Amino acid sequence: MGVLRMNRRVGWLLVVLLLSRGSASAQEPGVGALAEQVRATERAFAKTMADRDHEAFVSFLSGEAVFLGRTTLRGKAQVAAGWKAYYDAPLAPFSWEPERVEVLDSGTLAVSTGPVYDPAGKRVGTFVSTWRREPDGSWKIVLDSGCPPCPPDRP
């Protein structure tokens, strides 16, 4: 009788462990949901320029961010200092918005890309940003670059 009772307890314990493990993984967002998080994060990041809020811009930067432009800016402090001038004028010198977002199946890295516009709304470039998902679930930008607009027929 004692062995049977112990086997039932072990069986129930295994069931409980499997169910709790299944519900934990069910709570992990899928790639599509993560892509929407990145899209919203990129939009909020772009809004810092429209709002002229340099402090908010800096809050999106990873400590090890690298921004490629005319020069390479390495680290949060250097990127923040290098981009400060873009936030000093009353009107934003450019704007951007995500057009395409892709997330690794692991959910740890994502890339967002899209158009860059001048103050008149003319497309003047294309940005590419790489985002890393932090342990707290937030997304921080780790790599960023831009270039002239890609031809529309380019894949």
The model's pLDDT over 107-123, given as tens digits with 9 standing for 90+, comes to 999 999 999 999 999 99
- C-beta of residue 57 within 8 angstroms of C-beta of residue 87: yes
Contacts of 95 by beta carbon, 8 Å cutoff, 6+ apart: 46, 49, 50, 116, 117, 119
Do strands 61-68 and 139-147 pair parallel, antiparallel, or not at all (unpaired)? parallel
Q: For 130-148, what is the mean pLDDT?
A: 95
Domain ranges within the chain, ordered by starting residue: 30-147
- Confirm or reject CATH 3.10.450.50 for domain 30-147, answering yes or no: yes
Residue 143 has pLDDT above 80, yes or no: yes
Integer distance in angstroms from the first to the last C-alpha of the chain? 69
Write the pLDDT tens digit of every residue in 28-87: 789 999 999 999 999 999 999 999 999 999 999 999 999 999 899 999 999 999 999 999
Residue 26 predicted with pLDDT over 80: no
Q: What mean pLDDT is reported for the chain?
A: 86
> What whole-number distance in Å separates Cα of residue 91 and Cα of residue 43?
18
Residue 18 class from Cβ within 10 Å (0-12 exposed, 13-18 middle, 19+ buried)? Answer: exposed
Asked if the model's pLDDT at residue 92 lies above 90, the reply is: yes
